[in-house]
């Protein structure tokens, strides 16, 4: 069984400030971890993913995340927020088997203040 | 490369009516998913197909929801009769299968039941 907890349903940051969105997971098998972004009235777009290898992964739009097995965390960061980053962000976990399914967290709405 | 195509994008129906959503996955993707995303929540898996076979439909409300992928390519999700609580975004997604670890999403079909 797998689950994801995203701490903070709403996060506000000022433009240019650090973005930190928190994600903790639970998985009975080695996890694959994902961050997706959803803009209003659109589908989900993959930001980045961790499967195996390097625990610090870089994604699109300047985002990165670090897989910390000991903390069961996969927090998303961006050094400097831009107005265009305002969106909803979802953390998700899947197993590494062939019947790959995503289990999502409840999402974090990011607001960027001018 | 074309993405996951879904139609219609928006649908408003009255309760007890029926509705059908269509999805065409990325070419060559063996695995197809339907997710339900209720406003303010993360997507929840309804059904997963591998080619034209069902891998997991444990969370599909089978008394009113049905889905098929007869030729292992495109898929249809049907709701009959609809309830108010079915108002949600229905997201179709696809994956290469055993060798693919990224799941790609369509833009979604937005359903409002009144």
3-class secondary structure, A83: helix
What pLDDT is attached to residue B101? 73
Q: Which chain A residues are Cβ-neighbours of B4 within 8 angstroms? A: 43
CA distance B28 to B25: 8
Exposure letters B73-103 (e unless 16+ CB within 10 A, then b): bebebebeebeeebbbbbbbbbbbeeebbeb
Q: Which chain B residues are Cβ-neighbours of A43 within 8 angstroms? A: 4, 91, 105-108
pLDDT at position A93 over 90: yes
Looking at the partner chain, which of B31, B91, B98 has a beta carbon nearest the beta carbon of A43?
B91
Looking at the partner chain, which of A41, A100, A106 has a beta carbon nearest the beta carbon of B95?
A100
* pLDDT per residue as tens digits for the range B85-110: 999 999 999 998 765 678 999 999 99
The reply to whether residue A100 touches residue B101, judged by beta carbons under 8 angstroms, is yes
Q: Which chain B residues are Cβ-neighbours of A88 within 8 angstroms? A: none
Looking at the partner chain, which of A90, A92, A101 has a beta carbon nearest the beta carbon of B48?
A101
CA distance B42 to A10: 14
Alpha-carbon B38 to chain mean position: 13
What pLDDT is attached to residue A95? 76
A→B interface, C-beta within 8 Å:
4, 32, 34, 36, 41-46, 49, 51, 90, 92, 94, 96, 98-107
The residues near A62 (Cβ < 8 Å, ≥ 6 apart) are A78, A79, A80
Exposure letters B16-44 (e unless 16+ CB within 10 A, then b): eeebebebbbbeebbbbbbbbbeeeebbe
- For a pLDDT cut of 70, what percent of chain B falls above it? 96
Q: Distance from B34 to chain A by nearest Cα, in Å?
A: 11
Using an 8 Å Cβ cutoff, are A100 and B103 in contact? yes
* pLDDT per residue as tens digits for the range A45-90: 999 999 888 889 999 999 999 999 999 999 999 999 999 999 999 9
Chain-wide mean pLDDT for chain B? 93
Chain B interface mutation, best of A33, A43, A104, highest count of B Cβ atoms under 10 Å: A43
The reply to whether residue A99 touches residue B56, judged by beta carbons under 8 angstroms, is yes
């Amino acid at each position: 069984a797998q689950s994801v907890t995203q701490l903070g349903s709403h996060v506000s940051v000022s433009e240019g400030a650090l973005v930190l969105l928190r994600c903790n997971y639970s998985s009975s098998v080695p996890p694959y971890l994902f961050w997706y972004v959803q803009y209003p009235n659109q589908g989900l777009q993959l930001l980045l993913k961790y499967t195996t290898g390097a625990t610090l992964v870089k994604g699109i739009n300047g985002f990165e995340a670090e897989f910390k097995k000991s903390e069961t965390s996969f927090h998303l960061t961006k050094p400097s927020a831009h107005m265009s980053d305002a969106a909803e962000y979802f953390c998700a976990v899947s197993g590494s088997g062939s019947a790959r399914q995503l289990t999502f967290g409840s999402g974090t709405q990011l607001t960027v203040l001018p | 490369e074309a993405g996951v195509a879904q139609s219609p994008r928006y649908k408003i129906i009255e309760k007890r009516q029926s509705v059908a959503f269509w999805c065409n996955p990325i070419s060559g993707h063996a695995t197809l998913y339907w997710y339900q995303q209720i406003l303010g929540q993360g997507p929840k898996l309804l059904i997963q197909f591998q080619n034209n076979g069902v891998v997991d439909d444990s969370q599909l409300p089978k008394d009113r929801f049905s889905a098929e992928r007869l030729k292992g390519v495109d898929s249809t999700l049907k709701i009959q009769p609809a309830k108010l609580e079915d108002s949600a975004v229905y997201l179709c997604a696809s994956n290469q299968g055993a060798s693919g670890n990224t799941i790609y999403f369509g833009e979604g079909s937005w359903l409002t039941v009144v």
